[in-house]
Amino acid sequence: MEIVLATYPWAYFTPGGGEIQIEMIYKYLKKKNINVYKFNSWVPKKNTNIYHFFSCMGGSFNFCNYLKSIEKKLIISSSLWITKDTLKNYDIGQIKSQLLIADRIIVNSEKEKDLLSNILEIDNSKFRVVHNGFEPDLLQYRNKKFQKPPKIPPNWEEYIICLANIESRKNQNILIEACRLSQKKLILVGHIREKDYFKSLEIDENNSVIYYGAVENHSKEFFSLLLNAKCFVLPSTLETPGLAALEAAALGIPIIVTSEGCAKEYFGKIESYYDGKRGEVKELSNLISKVFLNPNLGTVKLNDIQKFSWNKCIENQILAYEELI
């Protein structure tokens, strides 16, 4: 079996959870001794029969349609969360056209499958659920401590971390207000995807909010930032479920995550879900204060999180490929 992984051309300019997911699928397919390649437009794998395309970003239909015209099997990871309220924000015609030509559509949750199937009126049998995963090696660091990075002020004994691309749907503006209201320190980590949005954020590095920049995934700095945090907060308008939140949960860090999306399918019975769609500052501030007082409210149990390690999730991905052979 040979697989080619592909995505839209500018995806890796500001890599986020979607791009990390591609890298993890590539890595764990390799571990299973499957011949997997990243698409190279200069030297395409013409004889490979199965192509796995990630995203429904504008313009993706043309590439996917070409693959079908040369009789390739096409799997699409939609990386998409559309509701009746958000339909107006998307080119639904092009998205539906792209997904209809796929042989299989990969989604990250049962809820996402039902939502896309119903709203786009695509036969449910086309979908396969492959949950997002974390690297099982992370578990060796669960609840351990690293020395704090030197860029963090020495008087910052406790802080909240938000590890996510800086963009409006992540609601960092609301998080900043909530942290100030609850008098908590905040570190924002991630690539800047929306420059105007970033400029609008009220960041005061000498007081309560630091923009740390982007860090290499799973680097010493990555672990140091996360494992010294009192709490991980991702109050997005929606998530599917948010790879950084999944990794924080695996590391034993209390999390506060949006209830909008499929987070509950991953994190189960924690008591720290936030209505990111409504975006109430006081609600988030109160939730932060509660989790600081009782971290168990936001801590995902080890038995619950272990089933989302990549060495387990990749098996369902392989099954989807095998159906097309």
Residue-wise pLDDT tens digits, 32-41 = 999 999 999 9
Task: Decide if domain 2-133+309-322 falls under CATH 2.60.120.260.
Answer: no
Half-sphere exposure of 137 (CA within 13 A, CB side): 5
Token pair, residue 239, equals: 């998530």
CATH 3.40.50.2000 for domain 137-307, yes or no, is yes
Portions of the chain given CATH number 3.40.50.2000? 2-133+309-322, 137-307
Taking CA 242 as the corner, what is the angle to CA 238 and CA 244, rounded to the nearest 5 degrees?
Answer: 145
DSSP assignment letter at 193: S
User: Does an H or E element contain 69, and which?
Assistant: helix 60-69
pLDDT truncated to tens, each residue of the chain (325 aa)? 999 999 999 999 988 888 989 999 999 999 999 999 999 999 999 999 999 999 998 889 999 999 999 999 999 998 888 877 778 888 889 999 999 999 999 999 999 999 999 999 999 999 999 999 999 999 999 988 888 888 898 889 899 999 999 999 999 999 999 999 999 999 999 999 999 999 999 888 667 999 999 999 889 999 999 999 999 999 998 888 888 999 999 999 999 999 988 899 999 999 999 998 888 999 999 999 999 999 999 999 999 999 999 999 999 999 999 999 9
Place of tokens 């920049």: 213
The verdict on pTM exceeding 0.85 is: yes
Give the helix/strand (H/E) hosting 292. helix 281-293
Please list, residue by residue across 15-50, b when 16 or more beta carbons sit within 10 angstroms of its beta carbon and e when fewer do.
Answer: bbbbbbbbebbbebbeeeebebbebeeeeebeebeb
Rounded distance between C-alpha atoms, residue 148 and residue 153, angstroms: 9
Q: What's residue 241's pLDDT?
A: 80
One DSSP character per residue, 226-252 reads: HHT-SEEEE--S-BS--HHHHHHHHTT
